Chains A and B, each alone.
Chain A
Amino acid sequence: MSCRSKLAELLPLYAAGSLGAEERQAVAGHLAACADCRAELAFWREVASAVAAEDRALPPPSPVLVDRVLASAQRRRANPFARAWALLAAQVPLVRREIWSASALVMALGCVVAILQGGSASASIIQAAAPLVAAAGLAMLYGPDNDPGLELALATPTWPRQVLLARLVVVYGYNLVLGLAASVGVLAVVPPGLLGQVILGWLAPMTFLSALALVLSMVIGTGNAITVALMLWLARGLASGLRMGTVGAPAASEAAVVAALQAYAGLWRSTGLLFGLAAVLLAAAVALAGQSERLVAQKV
């Protein structure tokens, strides 16, 4: 009695109006030719009408149901540590996913190269890579091109600053762990007593460069921020490698340039200065985060 066509199986969906255009046309075409299916469609239309009417007429659930949900959610989060942890954990899936894999990959590569290099240069490879990797990650933290939904969410009275800080902690913490792991890895070719020195070599530069990249990303965009950080870091590398020529007396201008470059390289070795500047930049980032117009401006 009932039609064997595959299209007959779609009749209830046809009656509900939830088929896509192609399927709908196919069924309509079949209906023109099949009396059995027309009869079945009439039946489904009755069913659709009855079911929709019945379910629409159901008395609604209690309006305080959502209060109960929030109450039990809050019970779990009354503890401020639990709240903070929940906020941090919530950032992990929201942060741009490439950050995790790209950072880990580069640091792993750096570690391998450092070990193969061996000797005193191995530590400096880690010290060169870690700050830049972290800075790139921090530059990708914020802004509509990295997190399109964030702007919508921040249009409401939630806490942009807390979100920024939470993300910062998560990504910086991640890069910190990577740096530590790479430093430990490099102990394969470096005396263990030097571990502290290796770490200090990248810790302050990483902190400063990350804070700088974050602030820059909020003002000039992610790509530009990474470029600036890269330039500053490469300049440091070149300046650090500079040695005064020993052939003949240097010209005055040449000496001035070299002195300036050596001072620049020296800045990167002043731990206190780097941490101090990082703190100032962090405060600036937090202040900027409070202004949501920033996010709109970045879209341009």
Chain B
Amino acid sequence: MEIAVSQPALPVDPDQALIRRMVLGDEEALRALYAAYGRRLFAYAYRLTGNRAVAEEVVQDALLAAWKGAAAYRGDSRIVTWLLGIVHHRALNALRRKTVPSDTLEEAAERADAGAGLSELAEASERRKALTVALSQLSGEHRAVLDLVFYQGLSLAEAAEVLRCPVGTVKSRLSYAKVRLRAALVRAGWRAEDVL
């Protein structure tokens, strides 16, 4: 079963009109943007910072930056890529400014359980739980790259744009995440041959 979170980039982004309206100061456009993308931006910010309150602050900062800097959006990438790039920048600033405490381990474990999904609990639930725990052990940076690829549905080039790094770096981060996840699963008792 192929997991397609989103289509590969479409040639025309209908939300570009929202950005134009934002340039003219239309507040409803910003609300519409938040309604469409707020959840996704928060997900990425949360994965990077590991802290819910900080992630909200980051999204707020990023939206304000998008509102003020809407005129700078040239339309040569998707809206979501542009927004995620701003979130990434703001999140890094937040992490630099202060040490961000991760949400407690209990909270993270709770979320891990909730994320399993009822329909999938019946099958391979042990393995999925182990994978979820392994994911939570990844650094924010690596967990965030997985978010970009598997939840936000970005292409390699788009992910590189958000992260402001070369495409090669994205590939190597994915590769590193694979190694770490595999190691975590082996530590949790899975046999290496069963993992990969």
Contacts and interface: CB of A to CB of B under 8 A. Distances in A.
B27 to A, nearest CB: 6
Contacts of A9: 171, 174-175
B196 A150 contact: no
B26 A61 contact: no
B64 A73 contact: yes
A53 B120 contact: yes
Contacts of A47: 131, 135, 146, 150, 178, 181
Contacts of A87: 25
Contacts of B64: 69, 72-73
A10 B63 CA distance: 32
B100 interface: no
A25 interface: no
A18 B149 contact: yes
A149 B20 contact: yes
A62 B56 contact: yes
Interface string B132-172: 10010000000000110111011110000000000000010
B17 A65 contact: no
A53 B25 CA distance: 36
A285 B156 CA distance: 48
B21 A43 contact: no
Contacts, number: 176
B92 interface: no
A43 B25 contact: no
Interface in B99-120: 111-112, 114-117, 120
A16 B24 CA distance: 37
Interface in A37-96: 39-40, 43-58, 60-62, 65-66, 68-70, 72-73, 86-87, 90, 92-94
Contacts of A90: 23-25, 71
B21 A158 contact: yes
A70 B71 contact: no
B63 A66 contact: yes
B135 A54 contact: yes
Interface residues of B, number: 66
Contact of A18 (B6, B174, B181, B195): B6
Contact of A16 (B28, B38, B55, B153): B153
Contacts of B175: 9
B86 interface: no
B10 interface: no
A152 interface: yes
B8 A18 contact: yes
B77 interface: no
Given A19-B155, A153-B24, A53 B39 contact: no
Contact of B155 (A13, A156, A163): A13
B144 to A, nearest CB: 10
A12 interface: yes
B25 A18 contact: no
A16 B56 contact: no
Nearest to A93: B71
A245 interface: no
A158 B22 CA distance: 10
Contacts of A13: 149, 155-156
A45 B1 contact: yes
A179 B164 CA distance: 43
A244 B178 CA distance: 91
25 contacts: A9-B171, A9-B174, A47-B135, A50-B128, A53-B115, A53-B116, A54-B111, A54-B132, A55-B150, A57-B117, A58-B111, A60-B38, A61-B39, A61-B55, A65-B63, A68-B60, A69-B60, A73-B68, A90-B24, A90-B25, A90-B71, A93-B72, A150-B20, A152-B20, A153-B24
Given A12-B178, A52-B5, A153-B20, 4 more contacts: A13-B155, A54-B135, A57-B115, A66-B38
Interface of A: 1-2, 9-10, 12-13, 15-20, 39-40, 43-58, 60-62, 65-66, 68-70, 72-73, 86-87, 90, 92-94, 149-150, 152-153, 156, 158-159, 163
Interface of B: 1-6, 8, 16-17, 20-21, 23-31, 34, 38-39, 42-43, 46-47, 55-56, 59-60, 63-64, 67-68, 71-72, 111-112, 114-117, 120, 127-128, 131-132, 135, 146-147, 149-151, 153-156, 171, 174-175, 178, 181-182, 195-196
